[in-house]
Structure formats: C-alpha cells, structure tokens
Amino acid sequence: MVGHAPEELLTVVPEELLTVAAALLLPGQDLTGATLAGGGSHHVVLLPGAAVVRVARKPTAVAALPRNVELPRRLGALDLPFAVPRPLSGVVRVAGHTAVALSWLEGAPAPRSGGGEPEELARLLRALREVDCGDLRSLLGAAHEYAGGDRWAEMMERDVVPRLPRTWRSEALRRVGAAVDLPVVEPSLVHGDLAGDNLHWSGDGRVLGVLDWDLAQPFDPAVDAACLAWHGWDKVAAAVDRAALHRAWTWYLTFGLEQVSFALLNGEPEEVVARRCTVAISWLERTARMTRPLG
C-alpha cells in the first residue's frame, strides 16, 4: 500500500534485462532511452512513450503475473475515466526471467502533497466503486493478501509487533485492533496502492492513467482513500464523507506495519526484515505526531 518502499530509478539497464525487453517488444524496437525502476517484486524497464516491461523478481510475483496482466486487460475494456496499461505481449519466460510488456501511459506522477484536487480524487474513488467486481473475482486478490490475507491481524500481533521496541508495541496493537473493529462495509474494487508513480496526471490536474494493479482486491474503498493521503489529508477530507474518512485514517495507521509482514511472507533475509522494522518504527514515530483529519 502507500507504505511501500519507493522505487529506485536507475539510468543503466543491465544487459540481461535489455535482452528480456528486446525479446518481448517489436523487432527493431529502439532501446536506447531505456531506464530501470525497481520495486519490491519487479524490475521495470521503462521505454518512454512506447512500453513498459515488467520482470518478476520473486516466485510470488512470477506466480501472480498472469493474473496481474489479465486484470488490467479486462479493466481496459470498461468505460473508465482513466487509462490502464494494455498487455503488448503474453507472459514470457526469457533467459531465466518471467516478464510481460505493457503499454506506456501518458501523463506524469504528482509530487507528494502536490496536485490531486478533491474533486478529481472523488471522481477517481467513485469510478473504482462503480466497477462491477462480479466478472473480476478470479483476478482479484484477497483483502490484505500481500500482508497476510485472512491471517492479517494474527500476523501483525504474533509476528510483527514482537519485533518492534517495547515502547511501540502497545500503540501498534492499538492500531491493528482499531482496524479489526471497523464496521464492515460493502466491498468494492480497491486498487490498493494509489500513490506516487501509480497515478499519472495531466497538466490540468486530471487523472490520465492508473498503473500497477497487483494489489487489487474487493474490499473497503476507504483503503484507496487512505492511499490518496499522498496528496494531503486536507484533500482526502474534502473528497470523502466523514465515515469514510474515519476508516481511511484507521487503515492508514497500519500501512507502515504491513511492510514487515510482507517481508516475512516473502521469506526475505533477516537483515531485510530488520530494515523493514526500522522503517516501520519511523512510520510509527511520524504518524504518532500527525493530527487526525476532520471531515
């Protein structure tokens, strides 16, 4: 979710990944301007204006790639007010890597606490809520899938909280408990990571494209509202009603903790888990100083 580690943009693409990209794209495609973005689960080769090649980095990402490609293809056939990446290839195994080529989306990410006027955020959230999830069920993950799924609260309490300093354990448990105690709402399509590079904006403030549907799930739409706090809680408060704002704030206060359970579920080395714990502690410290938004 919004607590994800930021992607690192590199200027040099390793030769082995250029080979993968060349195999998936049209013959003669110029790779001269290619750059590399690395997220938690994929390498992403960027060919501005032409294509994006996603290369799975982990076994879980390899297994999920076909589903994560089919979902945007189905969404692209709907009358949505924004574009989604279109598959330009099938899921292909090349030189020991599993990858897919996707279409390039126009627009640019908005800076943190910049752009994202309330009217446009509300329009985006409404469009997602109105998607009929019936035909998409087999392509959507479970709620909290990347951080424990049905065992989300159990993992938080048993595996994540004990790794934190004693001074933060009661606060972390309080946040998890508050989320568990939220009223159940009608589930709708939740993107799960509506922040940073995953939204492309036009120069006049419209959402042109939504990328990276890997965390899509039928769940509480307030999760997406919480992710949009990237643009500032004042804008989220103006875009949703009071009940949704309360749920969004409650979910938001758990996001940083989910990074630890994500690392544990993916079998990351202990030093990686420890780094995630350090980031989670910083998250707890920072968010503890924040003022609860009022709608």
Domains of the chain: 8-103 (3.30.200.20), 118-288 (3.90.1200.10)
User: Are 256 and 284 spatial neighbours (Cβ–Cβ below 8 Å)?
Assistant: yes
Token digits of residue 151: 């065992």
* pLDDT score recorded for residue 10: 53
**pTM for this prediction:** 0.92
Per-residue pLDDT of the chain in tens (295 residues, 90 and over written 9) = 544 444 444 568 999 999 999 999 878 888 988 999 877 789 999 999 999 999 998 888 999 999 999 999 999 999 999 999 999 999 999 999 999 999 999 999 988 877 889 999 999 999 999 999 998 999 999 999 999 999 999 999 999 999 999 999 999 999 999 999 999 999 999 999 999 889 999 999 999 999 999 999 999 999 999 999 999 999 999 999 999 999 999 999 999 999 999 999 989 999 999 999 999 999 999 999 999 998 6
Q: How many C-beta atoms lie closer than 10 Å to residue 82's C-beta?
A: 19
Phi and psi of 207, rounded to 5°? Answer: -75, 115
Tell whether the torsion through CA atoms of 259, 131, 139 and 141 is positive or negative: positive
* pLDDT score recorded for residue 2: 46
